[in-house]
Every structure is written in structure tokens, then in C-alpha cells.
Amino acid sequence: MSAAEKGWKDVPMGGLILEAGNAKEYETGDWRTHKPVWDEDKCSHCMICWVFCPDSAILVKDGKMQGIDYKHCKGCGICAHECPRKCIEMVLDTGKDGEAGASE
């Protein structure tokens, strides 16, 4: 049953939210007009983008950057602005190249 199909008998009482960390299920990737594109070759894995990203959309494994979580990235451009090696570029997100929402 999708959220929209649920009736008043199906939702937790008092507006309680019963699952911790469920913000992950709320995909905000379609709020953006521009998306960050990461150049892995230029990246030194300094993690500054990870520190600054307000949406926890920088994917990291074993201390290394892995890419961008396009399902949650709102395209604010803070990562590109802060990157000391300029290896993140903001480009118009046409949604056509299959990249948006693809990587996680």
C-alpha cells in the first residue's frame, strides 16, 4: 500500500514516526536543476565535500569518495564550490543521460 492509498486507520496515531532514519526513503533528487558531476581522476579524497554536503549525498567507503547519491542530492552546488581541486562540476540535469538517480 503506497502512502497515498493509506487511510486514517492505517497510519500511526498522533503523527508518530515509528521508523528511525526514514528520511532516506524521502528522495529529494528531483528538486534539482543542476547536478554535480565528479571527476574521480582529479579527486584527492580530502572529504571536504562530504563535510559540507547538507544532504549527506556524498557516498564514502573506507575513507574514499565513491560518488554522489543522486537520489538525495538537491543540486545546491556547495560541494562544487568547496572542492579545493575543482573536481566537481555543476551541469544542467536533463535527466536524459540515465545518470540522475542511478548511482548509489
Partner 1 sequence: MSRRVAITGNEAIAEAMRQINPDVVAAYPITPATEIVQMFANSVSDGKVDTEFVTVESEHSAMSAAIGASAAGARAMTATSSQGLALMWEMLYIAAGLKLPIVAPIVNRALSAPINIHCDHSDTMGARDSGWIQIYSEDAQEAYDNLIQAIRIAEHPDVLLPAMVTMDGFIVSHGMSNAEFLDDDVVRGFIKEYEPKHYLLDVENPITVGALDFSDWYFEHRRQVADAHTRVKDVVLQVAEEFKGISGREYKLFDGYKLDDAEYAIVIVNSAAGTAKTVVDELRAKGLKAGLLKIRLFRPFPQEEIVEALSGKKAIAVLDRADTLSLMGGPLYIDLRAAMYDSPGPRVKMVNYIYGLGGRDINMEQIAGVYNDLVEIVKTGEIKRSVTYLGVRE
Partner 2 sequence: MAELLEIRWHGRGGQGAKTAAILLGEAVSISGKYIQAFPEYGPERMGAPVLAFNRISDEPIRLHCQVANPAMVVVLDATLIGKTDVTAGVPEDGLYIINTNLSPGEMRDQLGLADGKVYTLDATQISMETMGRNIPNTPMMGALIKATGLLTIDEFVANAKGRLEAKFRPDIVEKNIQAIERAYQEVQGEE
Q: Which positions touch partner 2 (CB under 8 A)?
A: 28, 30-33, 74-76, 92-95
Tell me the C-alpha distance between 56 and 49, whole Å: 10
Pick the closer one to partner 1 by CB: 5 or 62. Answer: 5
Q: Name the residue nearer to partner 1 (CB basis): 14 or 98.
A: 14
- Strand 64-68 and strand 58-61: pairing? antiparallel
**Contact between 9 and partner 1 per CB under 8 A:** yes
Which positions from 11 through 40 interact with partner 1, judged by CB under 8 A? 14-15
Closest approach, Cβ 13 to partner 1, in A, equals 10
Residue 8 touches partner 1, criterion: CB under 8 A: yes
Asked if 29 contacts 70 with a C-beta cutoff of 8 angstroms, the reply is yes
Q: Where would I find the beta strands (DSSP E) of the chain?
A: 34-38, 58-61, 64-68, 88-92
State the nearest-atom distance from the C-beta of 15 to partner 1, in Å.
3
Q: Is 91 helix (H, G, I), strand (E, B) or coil?
A: strand
**Block residue for cell numbers 496515531:** 13
Q: Which residues bind partner 1 (CB under 8 A)?
A: 5-9, 14-15
